[in-house]
Amino acid sequence: MPPNNSQKTNQEASLRAKQIKAYIRKLKRKIQKIYSEGEVAPPHCHVIRYQTKKNDKIY
């Protein structure tokens, strides 16, 4: 007997939630890797020709 629509929807939602959690973990690892590689530009700086600049300091 095939699962009803409600069961299928719940399974799809559960699978999607697991995928989102996996992507969040992956992004957090990437962020940590970026921070570990060296200096990171502070918040509110802007990009100029592929460099970020804030208060006359280039990152």
Residue 36 — pLDDT band, cuts 50, 70, 90? very high
Average pLDDT score over the chain: 83
**Structure-model confidence comparison of residues 54 and 36, the more confident one:** 36
d(CA 13, CA 7): 10
d(CA 15, CA 25): 16
**Structure-model confidence comparison of residues 33 and 40, the more confident one:** 33
Q: What is the pTM of this model?
A: 0.56
Residue 1 — pLDDT band, cuts 50, 70, 90? very low
Report how many domains make up the chain.
1
d(CA 10, CA 40): 41
Q: Which residue range forms the structural domain that includes residue 20?
A: 5-58
